[in-house]
Amino acid sequence: MDYEKLERSARLRSRAVKITTYALLTLWAVMVLFPFYWMVLTSVKSYGAYNSEWIPRLYTLSPTLQNYREAFTAVPLTGYFVNTILFTLATTGIMLVVTVLAAFAFARLNFQGKDLVFTLFLSLMMIPNELVVITNFVTITNAGLRNTFAGLILPSVTSVFYIYLLKENFAQIPDELYYAAKVDGTSDLKYLLRVMIPICRPTIVTVTILKVIECWNSYVWPRLITDDQAYFLVSNGIQEIRENGFGRDNIPAMMAAVVVISLPLIVLFLVFRKKIMAGVAQGGTKG
Amino acid sequence: MHVTLQNLTKKFPGRGKKAAEVIAVNDFTFRIPDGTLVGLLGPSGCGKSTTLNLLSGLLSPTSGRIFFGEDDVTALPPEHRGVGLVFQNYALYPHLTVQQNIMFPLENRKGKDKLTKEEMRARALEAAKLVQIDGLMERKPKELSGGQQQRVAIARALVKMPRILLLDEPLSNLDARLRLQTREEIRRIQKDTGITTIFVTHDQEEAMSISDLIVVMKDGVVQQIGKPQEVYDDPVNQFVAQFLGTPPINIFDGAIRDGKLCIGTTPLLDVTAADQEDLVIAVRPEGFNPRQNGIFSCRLHRVEVMGRDISVVCGHESFIGENFRAIIDSEELAFVSGDTVRFDLNPNKVFAFRKDSGQRIRF
Amino acid sequence: MEQTNKKAWLYLLPAMAFLGIFLVYPLIDVFIYSLEEGYNSASQTYFGVGLYNYAYVLHDPYFLQALKNTFILVLITVPLSTGIALLISVGLSSIQKLRDLYQTVYFLPYVTNTLAVGLVFMILFKKTPYTDGLANLILSWFGAGPIDFIDGPYWAKMFVLCFYTVWVVMPFKILILTSALASVDQTYYNAARVDGTGKLRIFTRITLPMISPTLFYLIITGFIGAFKAYSDAVALFGTNLNAAQMNTIVGYVYDMLYGDSGGYPSYASAAAILLFAIVLTITCINLLVSRKHVHY
């Protein structure tokens, strides 16, 4: 056997594989990042400059913040923002209370038919949102809750999946802690607040972040339930801007609005990167 | 096939930015004769597994060379080395049957080495018969016991007729009874096939019982190489003496004064070495012979009879540790009674080491 | 015991109330709606019970268009995104340097607003009186185009929709696949290498079987997700998807419910039930296939 040749070809091959791998990975990274780059780039081009570029330019030498001023003044972007923040905070807050209480009951308390009820709960996970949205729309409309925050928030304050996730987490806390607390005369609610929630904080934080992302991006339900701009969330706002705002061709201003809308979640992601990715790997789905 | 290691060294970069690099194997030179079974022995972290991975090619050395026969394979990637490797956890592919697992290495062959399905099946069956698992060919690994999985792993390593066979802690995942049986089995298979075999273990008894040669390593440095009995009878330093043997060797403070080897202040044996203080005197448990007027007097704590072995647990103020243990013959039991027991020492079972370096002082 | 019993139900009450009103009741109700013929949402009356709503939906050209679009979208994007995600994940698992950076970048689309970024895709592909857009610039390098991807021919619009859908679903798939690949015991690879197994064979004979459960999970959830496509299409083509010939089944449901042609909850219900009959069937087929091919 010709060892030298074998060694050389093996070395060459492994280098070629490495280069191809990095090239492929970089290509996809560019595909992912390019739209973000384009959105920021376009948002700092002036209206005149953008529309005079028959061949789009990949950079600009005279960036301007004019479009951002426009985005906040010509369309009610601030209003969309405030609405989304209120909606996100309220939905996430109520959801946490509801799911934590339910998870606590399943994990810690004993009652007749617990297993049966829990199984029923789990089977609810299979119900697709698209099936129930029709009746919910009618329910909310009949209750006169269209174009109100209550109508926006109420249908999305429970999540069977998060109840399941929290219950599993709560169940890992050793029983001895509970008995010790009972002996000391701690009430169930106090035990939940002072012992279980602090111990399970990482999971609760994950659930919170995932819910915030979901709220910030929610589009379908808000679109159905609001037609008054005063109650639009950012997703509906951006759709409204696209169809009626700025005058159809002011794309730089539109992109400025898109940047402003995307930024909070990107910052959130960069801060909680590990947590978000671990949480999604655990059971988040999109689409 | 003989295997030669020449100044083999492997350094790993330290973890963290400022940590010093770790020298896992340091300047290892050794020629393994054809057809021998070699045990690499040492505590965890001594570099024995690294050495094995250097031989298989999964790691490449920082410096030094490796030869299989006359071929320099130092830079050769593992797939071209023709080694059989049995992993500690066996690494059997869980989705393949026993037969598919054993045939796997054969299916990799290309060009003129390519085998037909029938040839592969025949070879797999042959290997399976060698390790006596030919009745289990259609099972999946998870349907097998630990010992059976071990045999499948060995069959898979043997089926490609490797130039050398490497075993990483082959017995550590088996229970005690199976371990005894399997190590005999490994010995038999190695003799039957005549393949140069190198295995890694932290269990000195395992290495001693089946190896032709053992290599004792510590902190990446080879301490001693030799036939098991030779190394046991003639350790080069305190580490080797203490690492080999169950129950372990007994260690006392001592010195050589006026041509006599002393434990504490008690002179015991006439020696020719020069006088020196600060020694460690090590005595194998079987080196103590109880006698009516023995020269070494100790406190007797208790006698433990465990089957064939009788061990006498004693105390002595110069012993490093709490109690030491002597293994005696049943006819010597007559001399053991009361609070004190007196021993004569077998000079061949007594070693002296320097306290600071652990170097053997020959006397 | 009696005490805890009562208290436990109290803790469960909010969750049960919300789930009952917004999940269980609607599930039953949607079937009732779908069977009520001629339902009038203003007067809440109907004049018969039967399968007419289903028949109507199945003959509605808009529904058939949506059905066709959805199937094309599913059949293209699910295999494509799973395949590319697998390729990228394998590449990602084989490197050490910059791995964290790549992983972070790849996950970005997951946390961005589908509607907002869809707008960026629209301007990248759109042809306007002022510019042909960047996509056409690239096409022109190869001597092709210009094509209006947003208001132009059907296949061009479908291409953009598929492209954007793949872009959006990729982060989740890459994330799941990389963690599946990382959980394969490294010694299997070492064992295979020592036995002289080629890279490709290691991949097909060891890696793929080992991650096959995850792969099938992704394919199944991928099918379900793709059948429910909607926001991506809205982001690219605006809310009037029927006019753009780009509607999806879910889009059809919402349009029937509320929108330019809306106000027909019965038709919407029938369409939604049809959609889930399809999804259920496909999922069952998937599960049957996977039982045969997934090892352990």
* Interface touch C137/A110, C-beta < 8 Å: no
Name the residue in chain A with its Cα closest to that of B81. Answer: A3
Q: A17 in contact with C at a CB cutoff of 8 Å?
A: yes
The residue from B222, B242, B262 where one domain ends is B242
| B150 vs B137: CA distance, rounded Å | 14
What sections of chain B are H helices per DSSP? 48-56, 98-107, 117-130, 146-158, 176-193, 204-210, 228-233, 238-243
pTM score over 0.90? no
Question: B253 φ, ψ to 5°?
Answer: -75, 140
Q: What is the pLDDT along chain C (296 residues), one digit of tens a residue?
A: 456 678 888 889 999 999 999 989 988 988 888 888 766 666 666 676 778 888 888 988 899 999 999 999 999 999 999 999 999 999 999 888 888 999 999 999 998 888 888 889 988 888 776 777 777 777 778 877 777 888 878 888 899 999 999 999 999 999 999 999 998 888 898 888 888 888 888 899 889 988 988 898 899 889 988 998 888 898 888 878 888 888 999 988 888 887 655 678 888 888 999 998 998 898 888 888 877 766 65
Q: C141 in contact with A at a CB cutoff of 8 Å?
A: no
pLDDT value at residue A24: 93
Residues on B contacting C at a C-beta cutoff of 8 Å: 56-58, 77-85, 87-89, 91, 93-95, 104-105, 107-109, 142, 156, 160
* Interface touch B89/C188, C-beta < 8 Å: no
Q: Are strands B83-86 and B221-226 parallel, antiparallel or unpaired?
A: unpaired
Q: Which residues of C touch A134 (CB under 8 A)?
A: 26, 29-30, 33, 253, 257, 265, 268-269, 272
Residue A210 and residue A114 share a domain: yes
Please confirm whether the linkage preceding B248 is cis (ω < 30° from 0): no
Q: What is the pLDDT along chain B (363 residues), one digit of tens a residue?
A: 889 999 999 998 877 666 778 888 999 999 999 999 999 999 988 889 899 999 998 888 999 999 998 888 888 888 888 899 998 888 898 888 999 999 988 888 777 778 888 888 999 998 898 888 888 999 999 899 888 898 899 999 988 889 899 999 888 888 888 888 888 888 988 998 899 999 999 888 888 888 999 999 999 899 999 999 999 999 999 999 999 988 899 999 989 988 888 888 888 888 888 888 889 999 999 999 888 888 888 899 988 887 777 889 998 888 888 888 899 888 888 888 888 889 999 989 999 999 988 899 888
Residue B256 and residue B132 share a domain: no
Q: A5 in contact with B at a CB cutoff of 8 Å?
A: no
The residue from A46, A67, A88 where one domain ends is A67
Residue A230 and residue A128 share a domain: yes
Name the residue in chain C with its Cα closest to that of A103. Answer: C12
In a domain, A81, yes or no: yes
Residue A71 in 3-state DSSP?
helix
In a domain, A57, yes or no: yes
Name the residue in chain C with its Cα closest to that of A18. Answer: C95
* Interface touch C194/B109, C-beta < 8 Å: no
Bridge partners of residue B315, in order along the sequence: B299
Is residue B79 within 8 Å of residue C194, measured between CB atoms?
yes
In a domain, A209, yes or no: yes
Residue range A140-188, pLDDT digits in tens: 888 888 888 898 999 888 888 889 889 988 988 888 888 888 888 888 8
Chains in contact with chain A (at least 3 beta-carbon pairs closer than 8 A): B, C
Q: A286 falls in which pLDDT band (50, 70, 90)? A: very low
Task: Name residues whose C-beta falls within 8 Å of residue A191's C-beta, 6 or more positions apart in sequence.
Answer: A108, A178, A181, A182
Is residue B151 within 8 Å of residue B173, measured between CB atoms?
no
Residue C94 in 3-state DSSP?
coil
Residue A235 sits in a domain whose CATH number is 1.10.3720.10
Residue B214 and residue B255 share a domain: no
In a mutagenesis test of the C interface, which of A28, A95, A134 is the best target, namely the one with the most C β-carbons within 10 Å? A134
Q: Which two tokens stand for residue B117?
A: 């399905």
Domains and CATH numbers, chain C: 60-293 (1.10.3720.10)
Place of tokens 């059948």: C227
Residue A98 and residue A32 share a domain: no
Is residue C73 within 8 Å of residue C251, measured between CB atoms?
no
DSSP label at residue A65: S
Distance from CA of C293 to the nearest CA of A (A): 23
Give me the torsion for CA of C140, C145, C147, C153, rounded to 10°: -150
Residue A172 and residue A110 share a domain: yes
Place of tokens 């490093």: B320
Is residue B110 within 8 Å of residue B191, measured between CB atoms?
no
The gap between the terminal CA atoms of chain C, to the nearest Å, is 43
Residue A177 and residue A45 share a domain: no
Of A138, A242, A286, the CB nearest to C169: A286
Please confirm whether the linkage preceding B247 is cis (ω < 30° from 0): yes
The percent of residues above 70 in pLDDT, for chain A, comes to 95
CA C21 vs CA A87, A222, C14, C28, C180: distances in Å: 20, 18, 11, 11, 38
Name the residue among B200, B201, B126, B204 with its Cα closest to residue B160. Answer: B126
Q: Which residues of A touch B71 (CB under 8 A)?
A: 1, 3
The residue from B213, B242, B271 where one domain ends is B242
Residue A82 and residue A139 share a domain: yes
| B328 vs B247: CA distance, rounded Å | 12
Residue A27 and residue A82 share a domain: no
CA A286 to chain CA centroid, nearest Å: 9
Distance from CA of A187 to the nearest CA of C (A): 11
b/e burial code for range C224-263 (CB count within 10 A of at least 16 → b): bbbbbbbbbbbbbbbbebbebebbbbbbbbbbbbbbeebe
In a domain, A287, yes or no: no
Distance from CA of C84 to the nearest CA of A (A): 10
Q: Which residues of A touch B77 (CB under 8 A)?
A: 6-7, 10
Q: Which two tokens stand for residue B271?
A: 């020696």
Element (H, E) at A14: helix A3-44
In a mutagenesis test of the A interface, which of B70, B76, B110 is the best target, namely the one with the most A β-carbons within 10 Å? B76
Residue B71 and residue B165 share a domain: yes
User: Looking at chain B, how many residues does it have?
Assistant: 363
pLDDT value at residue A47: 80
- Residue B311's domain comprises 247-361
The residue from B227, B242, B257 where one domain ends is B242
Element (H, E) at B304: strand B296-306
The gap between the terminal CA atoms of chain A, to the nearest Å, is 55
Residue B254 and residue B195 share a domain: no
- Residue A15's domain comprises 3-67
Residue A105 and residue A58 share a domain: no
pLDDT value at residue C77: 94
Q: Which residues of B touch A6 (CB under 8 A)?
A: 76-77, 80
Q: Which residues of A touch B72 (CB under 8 A)?
A: 3
Residue B13 and residue B101 share a domain: yes
Residue B219 and residue B297 share a domain: no
Name the residue in chain A with its Cα closest to that of B75. Answer: A7
The percent of residues above 90 in pLDDT, for chain C, comes to 24
The residue from A29, A47, A67 where one domain ends is A67
Number of domain units in chain B? 2
How many CA atoms within 13 Å lie on the side-chain side of A65?
Answer: 3
Q: Which residues of C touch B84 (CB under 8 A)?
A: 194
Q: C166 in contact with A at a CB cutoff of 8 Å?
A: no
Distance from CA of C187 to the nearest CA of B (A): 6
In a domain, A262, yes or no: no
Question: B8 φ, ψ to 5°?
Answer: -70, 125
CA B327 vs CA A60, A117, B170, B351, C137: distances in Å: 89, 67, 30, 17, 90
pLDDT value at residue C1: 47
Give the CA radius of gyration of chain C.
24
Average pLDDT, rounded, for chain A: 86
Number of domain units in chain A? 2
CA C29 vs CA B86, B215, C18, C22: distances in Å: 62, 78, 16, 11
In a domain, A253, yes or no: no
Q: C186 in contact with B at a CB cutoff of 8 Å?
A: no
Distance from CA of B75 to the nearest CA of A (A): 6
Residue B236 and residue B94 share a domain: yes
Residue B8 and residue B68 share a domain: yes
Residue B116 sits in a domain whose CATH number is 3.40.50.300
* Interface touch C209/B93, C-beta < 8 Å: yes
Residue B278 and residue B204 share a domain: no
Residue A85 and residue A204 share a domain: yes
Is residue C18 within 8 Å of residue A154, measured between CB atoms?
yes
DSSP label at residue A154: G
Residue B287 and residue B229 share a domain: no
In a domain, A118, yes or no: yes
CA C69 vs CA A86, B312, C58, C76, C168: distances in Å: 36, 88, 15, 11, 18
Please confirm whether the linkage preceding C146 is cis (ω < 30° from 0): yes
Element (H, E) at B28: strand B22-32
Residue B34 and residue B173 share a domain: yes
* Interface touch B58/C198, C-beta < 8 Å: no
Number of H helices, E strands in chain B: 8, 21
Q: Which two tokens stand for residue B60?
A: 């490449």
b/e burial code for range B175-203 (CB count within 10 A of at least 16 → b): eeebbeebbebbbebbeebebbbbbbbbb
Residue range C31-70, pLDDT digits in tens: 888 888 766 666 666 676 778 888 888 988 899 999 999 9
DSSP label at residue A196: I
pLDDT value at residue A128: 83
C 61-80: CB under 8 A from A: none
Of B80, B82, B93, the CB nearest to C206: B93
In a mutagenesis test of the C interface, which of B50, B52, B92, B95 is the best target, namely the one with the most C β-carbons within 10 Å? B95
Residue A158 and residue A95 share a domain: yes
Residue A87 and residue A183 share a domain: yes
Residue A126 and residue A204 share a domain: yes
Q: Which two tokens stand for residue B141?
A: 């690994």
Question: B341 φ, ψ to 5°?
Answer: -130, 140
Crossing angle of the two packed helices A234-244 and C114-125, in degrees rounded to 10: 30
